[in-house]
A and B are shown apart, each in its own frame.
Chain A
Amino acid sequence: MTMGPVDLGWIVDNLDRIGGLLLEHLVLTGIAIGIGLVISFALALLIRNRPRWYGPVISATGILYAIPSLALFALLTPLTGLGTVLTAEIALVSYTLLILTRNMVEGLRAVPADAIEAANGMGYTAVQRLLRVELPLALPIIVAGIRIATVTTVGLVTVTALIGLGGLGYLIVTIGTSRGSFGLTATLTGVVLAVGVAAIADVALLWLQRALTPWARRGAAT
């Protein structure tokens, strides 16, 4: 069965394989964002205590961000092996750091001084104040960063196919550009799924942020 140049029969025949690649793509993305969040949070706390570090940390993560993914995978190969998940994840995590750290620092800096004073006046310890006052108030800007990092990472994970991992890049390039008649079908399936994953993750994160910050919605309504 075909629809124009798209071979629906191929998609049906390969549903299991496509599902497996999609799952692999989601796992690779999820690990990168999870570890990226932990490292950026540590960097943001470091910068909060030592504001001088902001420039160097942001410049270093910015330079890292400029290195093409294929080159970064290649540079890591002697240390972590050819086409291993570790190689891919170190590179993918590196790319999340610029956006995540910058938004976390911005978010924490945007917390109104009044709120911090009020928390101090109520006898909060520094940790309590961070967890109960500062992080919740910084959440919209932090989540904005997570959304950009997630959408970017979903796209970058496709490149891991070039170093022999799976993910949707395998559909886009490895199967897509092989000389079969289903090339366009495979490439389109990969692209559509990647865009779909990015869009769903983006909307889900926005929804999560709204659910976690009901006061912002109330404020916006007035």
Chain B
Amino acid sequence: MGAAGGCDVIEFLGEVAAWFADPGTWSGRDGIPARLVEHLWISGVSLAASVGVGLPLGLLIGHTGRGAAAVVAIANVGRAVPSLGLMGLAFILLLPLGLGVGPVPTIVALTALGIPPIVVNAYVGLREVDRDLVEAARGMGMRERDVLRQVEIPIALPVILAGVRTSAVQIVATATLAAAIGGGTLGQIIYIGFNVGDQVRIFGAAVVVAALSIATEIGFAALQRAGTSPGLRGRPYVPTEPAQVGREAGEPMNP
């Protein structure tokens, strides 16, 4: 369909609509509902695990200021290791344990993928809190735990939530790749389409995946906005901006 004319496009979209209207698309193991539910629970478990590991770590390093080098290392490794590589490694390493097939390698890989943005943002968020405020809280006799809970976390909340959002969007997007290691998810429908050369199914499933990903991005943007003080809110939708640690010397910060 290299040089598709207007008629071809309409015809193709008609076929896609027919695919969506087909009851077979909505039933069975490779139907949209079953794969969507699988996609969502795998992503949810992975995000929960990433937050469970990443948030305490980021808050600890951010609060104490010790271990900043570890945050830089986590950020760099997180960015350089390809997500598909994480999937492949998790699959192959868990295969001898009898866990290669099924959702486990996907969850392990997605959790590993989701941790860096949460750690980096929690760390950067806390470090950006005005030191005078923290000192004032200490001077008022607050315990360290209360300084963290009542002063640092509320002020850093938008940045912390931005990390959770980046992580959630990456996890939901990358869960699609689970199909490559037999982990199912909505990617499986696209993958089957590629294998049998069914362009209608490929396109239809991709529309569902794209809609889910955009919904995640916008949904978590709304959550982040809700966690931001009303006076500080900007435009309704601002794309995720991962916090950067260890900017190079001589490089000006954001104007």
Contacts and interface: CB of A to CB of B under 8 A. Distances in A.
Interface stretch (B29-37, B116-124, B127-135, B242-250): B242-250
Contacts, number: 188
A48 B239 CA distance: 19
Contacts of B89: 187-188, 191
B169 A155 contact: no
A219 interface: yes
Given A66-B213, A74-B202, A106-B254, A172 B247 contact: no
Given A62-B239, A151-B79, A173 B217 contact: no
B252 interface: yes
Interface in B179-225: 179-182, 187, 190-191, 193-194, 197, 199, 202-203, 205-207, 209-210, 213-214, 216-217
Nearest to B254: A106
Contacts of A82: 194, 197, 199, 202
Interface on chain A toward B: helix, strand, loop, or mixed SS?
A: helix
Interface in B133-191: 169, 172-174, 176-177, 179-182, 187, 190-191
B239 A65 contact: yes
A116 interface: no
How large, as a class, is the contact surface on chain A? 35 or more
B239 A75 contact: no
Nearest to B186: A71
Given A70-B187, A141-B252, A169 B84 contact: yes
Given A163-B194, A169-B84, A141 B251 contact: yes
Interface stretch (A11-19, A32-40, A192-200): A192-200
Given A70-B187, A177-B91, A152 B79 contact: yes
B92 interface: yes
A67 B173 contact: yes
Contacts of A72: 206, 210
Contacts of B4: 78-79
Nearest to A59: B237
B176 A70 contact: yes
Contacts of B241: 102
Contact of A217 (B172, B250, B254): B250
Nearest to B180: A173
A16 B59 CA distance: 47
B21 interface: no
A187 B88 contact: yes
A23 to B, nearest CB: 17
Nearest to B249: A220
B232 interface: no
Nearest to A184: B92
B199 A67 contact: no
Contacts of B206: 70-72, 74-75
Nearest to B181: A177
A161 B93 CA distance: 21
Q: Quick one: which of A65, A66, A81 has the most chain B CB within 10 A? A: A66
A32 B210 CA distance: 21
A20 B63 CA distance: 48
Interface of A: 55, 58-59, 61-63, 65-72, 74-75, 77-83, 98, 102, 106, 109-110, 140-141, 144, 148, 151-152, 154-156, 158-159, 161-164, 168-169, 172-173, 176-177, 183-184, 187-188, 190-191, 194-195, 198-199, 202, 206, 213, 216-217, 219-220
Instruction: Pick the 9 closest A-B CB pairs, nearest first.
Output: A62-B239, A74-B206, A155-B82, A191-B85, A68-B173, A66-B217, A71-B209, A216-B250, A220-B250
Given A155-B79, A173-B181, A184-B93, 8 more contacts: A62-B240, A71-B205, A75-B210, A78-B12, A106-B254, A155-B81, A172-B88, A213-B250
